[in-house]
Amino acid sequence: MKKRILVTGGAGFLGSHLCRRLLNEGNEVICLDNFFTGAKENILDLVPHPYFELVRHDVQEPILLEVDEIYNLACPASPPYYQFDPVATTRTSVLGAINMLDIARKCKAKILQASTSEVYGDPEVHPQPESYRGNVSTTGIRACYDEGKRCAETLFFDYQRQYGVEIKIVRIFNTYGPYMNPYDGRVVSNFIVQSLKGEDITIYGDGKQTRSFQYVDDLIEGMIRLMNTKDGFTGPVNIGNPNEFTMIELAQKVIRLTDSKSKLIYMPLPEDDPLQRQPIIELAKKELDWEPIIKLEDGLKKTIEYFDKLIKKEG
């Protein structure tokens, strides 16, 4: 049966992949985006599709729609973008959650919140299980994003308890792949673009801080499996790759795969930048029968190919 599905932030990196997958599965998709960080280029090929609808709208403002499911992805996700207008970032997470939850309540729709590993802050527990409550600054320059996402999780559970809304919460760990903005300040896009251009690769801190990187297709599979759970399972559930790499290891892989002569340069670590981030995914394995299957090297090759085409277009 064809479902009518709303994807907020649908023109963004993750949203565009999700819209494509949902259309390929035979659904009707409404892509809602204000294009602050999303790009029409990400979804241009979808516009002619008879079951795809594009709506320019900011989730900070209410909207009336009739839908069966909602994936709430709308929010700037890279530090340069969410720190550009921190008040709007918090409003997007909090008011956006309220406005989408109100639609879900009225329509009796299932709703999934794209939360983040940033709710764990700079973790004192490593690796991070869903039960860990985090080590998050409420006053730092990343708090607009971290605390906004934490408050959104609170709202989701309160709407479930108070109004019976059927909720799902995914905590997304570092994800990469085609349709990333090459200049959004994330580590994978930074390293690939610098390497392809033969520029020095910027390492913040000593480069020994670690991250876990998952390819976008693995994440989308996990999100859809979570949405389709029928036993009342809500999450939060970590969706990420538990294989951990230092920033230096990642930079060296990118240099090798791009056959670049780029050198590593070191800059001070930004405020509140976490030193470790690695998911425990036992809950996803148990409840969703999910784990990542795409190796970092294979995913990087696809991402490098995408960025290489973009850079050549720029001339």
**Does 289 fall in a domain?**
no
Task: Give 18-47 as a DSSP string.
Answer: HHHHHHHTT-EEEEEE--SS--GGGTGGGT
Mean of pLDDT values over 137-166: 97
Q: Is the entire prediction scored with pTM above 0.75?
A: yes
CATH number, domain with residue 68: 3.40.50.720
Tell me the average pLDDT across 126-144: 95
Helix ranges, 108-215 (H): 143-163, 187-196
Residues 13 and 162 in one domain: yes
Catalytic positions are: 145
Residue 182 in domain? no
47/172 same-domain check:
yes
- Mean pLDDT to the nearest integer, 146-165: 98
Same structural domain for residues 79 and 15? yes
Mean pLDDT of 194-212: 92
- Domain membership of residue 262 as a residue range: 187-211+243-278+294-314
Query: Do 29 and 71 touch, CB atoms closer than 8 A?
Result: no
In terms of DSSP bridges, do strands 69-72 and 110-116 run parallel, antiparallel, or are they unpaired? parallel
Q: What is the pLDDT of residues 23-45, one digit of tens each?
A: 999 999 999 999 999 999 999 99
Domain shared by 110 and 252, yes or no: no
When pLDDT is averaged across residues 291-295 and rounded to a whole number, the result is 97
C-alpha closest to that of 121 among 275, 280, 279 = 275
Whether residue 107 is found in the same domain as residue 32 = yes
Look up the CATH number of the domain holding residue 247. Answer: 3.90.25.10
User: 106: part of which helix (H) or strand (E)?
Assistant: helix 86-107
Q: Give the range among 225-239, 259-273, 285-299 with minimum mean pLDDT.
A: 259-273
Checking if the pLDDT of 314 tops 90, the result is no
118 and 266 co-located in one domain: no
Tokens at 18, concatenated: 């999700």
- Same-domain status, 38 and 132: yes
Highest mean pLDDT, choosing among 206-210, 278-282, 311-315: 278-282
Whether residue 86 is found in the same domain as residue 226: yes
Query: pLDDT tens digits, residue range 55-99?
Result: 999 999 999 999 999 999 999 988 888 899 999 999 999 999 999
Q: Over pLDDT 90: what percentage of the chain?
A: 86
Question: Are 261 and 115 contained in the same domain?
Answer: no
Q: Say if residues 126 and 209 touch (Cβ distance below 8 Å).
A: no
Rounded to whole angstroms, the Cα distance separating 67 from 101 reads 12
Q: Look at residues 24, 37, 290, 6 and name the one whose alpha carbon lies nearest to residue 179.
A: 37
Query: pLDDT band for position 272 (50/70/90)?
Result: low
Residue 99 is predicted with a pLDDT of 98
* 81 against 246, higher pLDDT: 246
pLDDT value at 287 more than 80 = yes
Instruction: Enter the tokens of residue 106.
Output: 């009225």
Q: Which residues of 135-165 are buried (b: 16+ CB within 10 A; e: fewer)?
A: ebeeebebbbbbbbbbbbbebbeebbeeeeb
Residue 161: pLDDT band by 50, 70, 90 thresholds? very high
Q: How many domains does the chain have?
A: 2
Query: Rounded mean pLDDT of the chain?
Result: 95
State the Cα–Cα distance between residues 212 and 167, nearest whole angstrom. Answer: 26
- Does 103 share its domain with 155? yes
Is residue 227 a contact partner of residue 199, using CB atoms and an 8 Å limit? no
141 and 227, same domain (yes or no): yes
Q: What are phi and psi of 60, to 5 degrees?
A: -65, -20
